[in-house]
Amino acid sequence: MPSRLYDAHNHLQDERLTPYHEAILSDVRRQGVARMVVNGSCEDDWPNVLALARACPEVIPSFGYHPWYVKERSGDWQAALVRHLDAVPSAIGEVGLDRLIKDHDPEEQERVFVWQLRLAAERDLPVGIHCLQAWGRLLEILRAEPRPRCGFLLHSYGGPTEMIAPLAELGAYFSFPGYFAHERKTRQRETFRSVPPDRLLIETDAPDQLLPNELARFPLAAAGSGKPLNHPANLGVVYEFMAGLRSEPLERLARRVEENFQRLFGPLAAR
């Protein structure tokens, strides 16, 4: 396994992982995970992400309102977000558009997303974007609005292959999750063959987006329910899978992902 791995997107603060934090951190360190971008998705998450960032040198914190939770936001959410961004070098995310969830209000989602995108542009911070079934609209917004000069991440990119070039032109990086190793995810895997080599990143999205059972090297189950969880140390498996998919030696892929990660998120770790 290469010595320095980078998880472009996970949710280490997720309460399902909390009982296992100590063991998880020791596993990710043994796997050689050098950095992981830990994404808060709503106001309740942000203090926990901040605490993790202060306790673990591997954690690059990211604060944002995810489209799934926009309905829950308080009147103070914008000030709270700014307070967290001011507290520690951090990215913005997870934010985005999701047309798949039930009872969503597309206009409200867009307002919240665009406000956070403008903030990222103003502060030149990398922004982690979630998008489901809204790719055309996302491209329109990214073209029309100011964007961070440092670039932005389309996490678990599942959009059309034809959109990769125009999105890359605007500054996009594309991260590949272990979830796309499932047999049925043929289209998503094919799409990733077209991602420019200097825009490719790898992610776990732990504790979600489970890998196929036979690939998961670090099995984990939620306390109480026993439901399977994705362990952040499965990152190494995702690297191996991507090396196979792109027919590239693992070490070379890992060096390139490191360069890409450092270009997008490195300034936050150095500050």
Q: Which alpha helices (DSSP H) does the chain contain, by range?
A: 21-31, 46-55, 77-87, 106-123, 135-144, 164-169, 186-192, 235-245, 250-270
In angstroms, what is the minimal distance from the CB of 156 to Zn ion?
Answer: 7
Ranges within 194-223 binding Zn ion (CB under 5 A) = 205
In angstroms, what is the minimal distance from the CB of 49 to Zn ion?
Answer: 12
What tokens were used for 175? 């991260």
The pattern of x and - marking residues 61 through 80 that bind Zn ion according to CB under 5 A reads --------------------
Q: Binding segment for Zn ion among 44-52, 70-78, 94-102, 112-120 (CB under 5 A)?
A: 94-102
In angstroms, what is the minimal distance from the CB of 93 to Zn ion?
Answer: 8
CA distances to 13, 107, 208 from 71, in Å: 21, 12, 21
In angstroms, what is the minimal distance from the CB of 68 to Zn ion?
Answer: 10
Report the sign of the C-alpha dihedral through residues 23, 29, 32, 33, in that order: positive
- Distance in angstroms (rounded) separating the CA atoms of residues 246 and 240: 10
Q: Binding segment for Zn ion among 79-87, 89-97, 157-165, 212-220 (CB under 5 A)?
A: 89-97
In angstroms, what is the minimal distance from the CB of 174 to Zn ion?
Answer: 14
Residues in contact with Zn ion, counted by CB under 5 A, come to a total of: 2
What tokens were used for 157? 């990119």
What tokens were used for 89? 């070098």
Q: Binding segment for Zn ion among 30-38, 93-101, 109-117, 118-126 (CB under 5 A)?
A: 93-101
Q: Is residue 89 reached through a cis peptide bond, with omega within 30 degrees of 0 on the bond before it? A: no
Q: Which residue is nearest to Zn ion (CB)?
A: 205
Q: Binding segment for Zn ion among 87-95, 174-182, 183-191, 262-270 (CB under 5 A)?
A: 87-95
Cβ atoms within 10 Å of 219's Cβ, excluding its own: 11
For Zn ion, which is the closer residue by CB, 110 or 205?
205
Residues of this chain that bind Zn ion (CB under 5 A): 94, 205
